[in-house]
Structure 1
Amino acid sequence: MDPALETLTLPIAEEAVVLSSPARILFLRARAGQPLNDFGNHNLVCEQSFAPDRDALQRSGVTVEAEVEDTGFDAVLVLPGRQRQEARAQLARAVAKCRDGGTLIACAPNSEGAKTLESDLAALLGPVDKLSKNKCRAVWGLVQKANLDQDLLAEWLELDAVRPVLDGAYVSRPGVFAWDRIDPASRLLADNLPLDLKGRGADLGAGFGFLSRAVLERSANVAAMDLYEAEKRALDLASENLAAFKGKKTLNGIWSDVTKGLEGPYDFIVSNPPFHQTGKADRADVGQGFIRAAAGGLRPGGVFYMVANRHLPYEHTLKEVFASVDMLADEGGYKVLKAVKAKGGR
């Protein structure tokens, strides 16, 4: 069960919100689940830039796009992200996608800003309704141009815009992992990579491109890098942040769920795997999926370099699929691990 998705759709299911049939419905940051089956009589379009959720939506048979250009929807549903600037930008974008007189419905878990969501939506729309269930809060209101705070709408639409960060060394945007800083785990991994990497490499969970750029700046004999990233918004940033290497190196951005496998074969792979996805709980299984994908994507004798929170149990998985595993660093709560694939192919 997806509590936020279940709660988001309740106002429609319980007829607190009544839509004409068929209604044009847009679902931003959409996730797949049984409640979407109730929209069979409507024209539903889902927007999702996170590859695992995109894949699940496609399997369920709904229309899904990375970025929907159309406007004038009768209803817009949104599950905002946890990052405050990104969430406000998503609410503003939902307003902009809705027709005058249409309905906007948003939902968040109580532990992830539901109260703030309610006040933010009211600031944009005016009076809103709400219901609480599944430890979540759904909030909805009519999008009426005469009642909108147009200045606030314009301000919030720009909150997640691409911008220079780190004294202009990179571009990034709110909502992307460690969007305005270098994650200390990635920094530790970069500092412990050898300077003689060469051949074809891959970066799993590339984010806005810090690790790939560190590899290319320090190892002149690297000929190609494939950047795997589930979040298309981050992958687009990485492309900008590696612009200096275009035409000099072979660079490919691959918008995919790493755990489903790699293209390969690679001479080396670097990775700072995510340890949580939707929700805040640690997810060792995601990193374990990255490890198995790396083992499958390396050539015999290829090397995998990864960083992880010290407490996450990755060594056992590494030893299952690699011939040798060594710790290169252990500091600041993080560990850097090096694993070599057997020349016989294991």
Structure 2
Amino acid sequence: MTAPRLRLALDDGALPLPESGRIAVLYPGESADLAPLPAARVELVEPRQPAHDARTREGYPVTTALAGAYAAALVMLPRAKALARDLVAAADAAVTPGGPVIVDGQKTDGVEALLRDLRRRVSVSAPISKAHGKLFWFPAEGTLGDWRRPARQTTPEGFVTAPGVFSADGPDPGSVLLAGSLPAKLPARMADLGAGWGYLATRLLERDRIERLDLVEADRTALDCARENVTDPRARFHWADARTWRPADAPGGIVMNPPFHEGRAPDPDLGRAFVAAAAEILAPGGRLWLVANRHLPYEAELARRFRGSREIAGNARFKVLEAVRPTRPGR
């Protein structure tokens, strides 16, 4: 939805882009329309799959981090407040002084609160409001350093995480419940879909019986943290969308704490897609263990994709579900 706001800013001359130099676009995702920008000068910073590969196929140069100096930057606000501030501060430091740092976001992603905070710090343009979002800009000054978050942080338990990754302050209670509910004997070959920064993997690899564990994670930042947290040689790391990743050899077991948000609104279809992927990936007699918020309706998808499923643990907030023997509809 970026294009209408960005086009308005450029067409009326309110936002003068520099005539030369690279333009960084941070966290564009798959759907942001960047047509108003001069494509030959645009460099995307996108550490998330499948957006990274989708944008690469479109012909954009895509990196996972800012590199060098830029003439301008456009920050597409993510949901996580700490990450949003970090990206804006990083853009402010990377753009040549005086060059525009452009911020675009939906109201549901906190753009109005960020605008209020920035007005206390820098000279911000009048915002352009359209389609439930806002776009504004300010001249880079390199003065937002206190908004930067360390590239890595350590939880009280000693795990390495990073701003903006899921459950950055410590193990997610759902994952803790899942790890504690797994049977004593697990298959030798396992996979963790949506592995995050590696909490579940560390717990799984406490089992000597496991010979290999594939960690599949779409967020490059989270996966890099997992590499630091999970040093066991039985672990294999895959920067990939768990919904489309397919291994060379089928695992006998899969664990997951699937995401259920694309934006602010819950989207159970994400979790259902993870269930469908697990059914495709597992060996014929394989098992899936997943944890989910109690209100999320995954039971019907499990019944459709597996020959049997049941709740094996839970509390008022979470449920742990086990499914056995994928049916692979349509085959």
Q: Quick check: 1:165–1:171 contact (8 Å CA) kept in 2?
A: yes
**Equivalence for 1:66:** 64
Structure 1 residue 189: deviation in Å?
Answer: 0.8
Structure 1 residue 236: deviation in Å?
Answer: 0.7
- Distance in 1 of aligned mates of 2:155 and 2:32: 40
Amino acid aligned to 2:147 = W
> Which of 240, 265, 288 matches 2:272?
288
Residue 300 of structure 2 corresponds to residue 300 of structure 1: no
SS at match of 1:93: helix
- Distance in 2 of aligned mates of 1:270 and 1:238: 16
- Distance in 2 of aligned mates of 1:343 and 1:122: 56
- Distance in 2 of aligned mates of 1:13 and 1:340: 57
Amino acid aligned to 2:170 = R
Which has a greater percent of helix?
1
Q: Quick check: 1:223–1:250 contact (8 Å CA) kept in 2?
A: yes
CA distance 1:180–1:329, shift in 2 (3 Å): same
**Equivalence for 2:175:** 186
Structure 1 residue 10: deviation in Å?
Answer: 3.8
Residue 83 of structure 2 corresponds to residue 99 of structure 1: no
**Equivalence for 2:230:** 242
Identity of aligned residues (%): 34
> Which of 139, 143, 147 matches 1:156?
147
Residue 35 of structure 2 corresponds to residue 37 of structure 1: yes
TM-score by length of 1: 0.88
Q: Quick check: 1:129–1:141 contact (8 Å CA) kept in 2?
A: no
Structure 1 residue 320: deviation in Å?
Answer: 1.8
CA distance 1:127–1:106, shift in 2 (3 Å): closer
- Distance in 2 of aligned mates of 1:80 and 1:313: 29
Residue 248 of structure 2 corresponds to residue 257 of structure 1: no
CA distance 1:65–1:183, shift in 2 (3 Å): same
Structure 1 residue 23: deviation in Å?
Answer: 4.5
Equivalent pairs, count: 329
Structure 1 residue 140: deviation in Å?
Answer: 0.4
Q: Quick check: 2:77–2:109 contact (8 Å CA) kept in 1?
A: no
- Distance in 1 of aligned mates of 2:7 and 2:201: 40
Q: Quick check: 2:109–2:264 contact (8 Å CA) kept in 1?
A: no
TM-score by length of 2: 0.91
Deviations 1:93-132 (A, max 9, x none): 0011111221110022223322222133334433433221
Q: Quick check: 1:23–1:42 contact (8 Å CA) kept in 2?
A: no
SS at match of 1:125: coil
Structure 1 residue 9: deviation in Å?
Answer: 5.2
Which has a greater percent of strand?
1
Gaps of 5+ in 2: none
CA distance 1:64–1:330, shift in 2 (3 Å): same
Poorly superposed stretches of 4+, deviation over 6 Å: 343-346
Q: Quick check: 2:66–2:94 contact (8 Å CA) kept in 1?
A: no
Q: Quick check: 1:5–1:31 contact (8 Å CA) kept in 2?
A: no
CA distance 1:270–1:136, shift in 2 (3 Å): same
> Which of 24, 27, 39 matches 1:26?
24
**Equivalence for 2:184:** 195
**Equivalence for 1:229:** 217
> Which of 289, 306, 314 matches 2:298?
314
